[in-house]
Amino acid sequence: MAVDMDIPQQVTRFYGTVDYAMDVVANRQIAFVHVSMLNDPFDPYCFFETDFGESYPNLIAFMKKNHPGDLPWFRANVPPISWGQTVRDLKAYMQRVRETAFIFSTSTTYYALHPKDNLYMWGHYANGHRGVAIEFNTQALATAVIKHHEAENGKPPEATDVWAEIEYTKTFGPITAEYVYEFMKQEKDISNRKRTIRSTTQLDMYYARLPRIKSDVWQSENEWRLMWQSEKTTGKIYKCPIPEDAITTIFLGLNLAPDKAEEILAVAKLNFPRTSIFRAHKRHGALALEFELR
Terminal Cα distance for the chain, rounded: 32
Q: Which residues contact 152 (CB under 8 A, 6 or more apart)?
A: none
User: Angle at Cα 31 formed by Cα 30 and Cα 35, nearest 5°?
Assistant: 145
Residue 264: exposed, middle, or buried by beta-carbon count in 10 A (0-12, 13-18, 19+)?
buried
Phi and psi angles of residue 244, each rounded to the nearest 5 degrees, phi first: -60, -30
Q: Rounded CA gap, 182 and 178, in Å?
A: 6
For position 6, what pLDDT does the model report?
A: 85
For position 152, what pLDDT does the model report?
A: 84
pTM: 0.90
Domain spans of the chain, in order of start: 10-293
Q: Tally the C-alpha atoms within 13 A of residue 135's C-alpha that lie toward its C-beta.
A: 19
Q: What one-character DSSP code corresponds to residue 53?
A: T
Q: What is the pLDDT of residues 62-109, one digit of tens each?
A: 999 999 999 999 999 999 999 999 999 999 988 998 999 999 999 999
Q: Alpha-carbon torsion 87, 47, 38, 158, what sign?
A: positive
For position 5, what pLDDT does the model report?
A: 52
Strand, coil or helix: 143: helix
**Residue ranges of the chain with pLDDT lower than 50?**
1-3
For position 234, what pLDDT does the model report?
A: 82
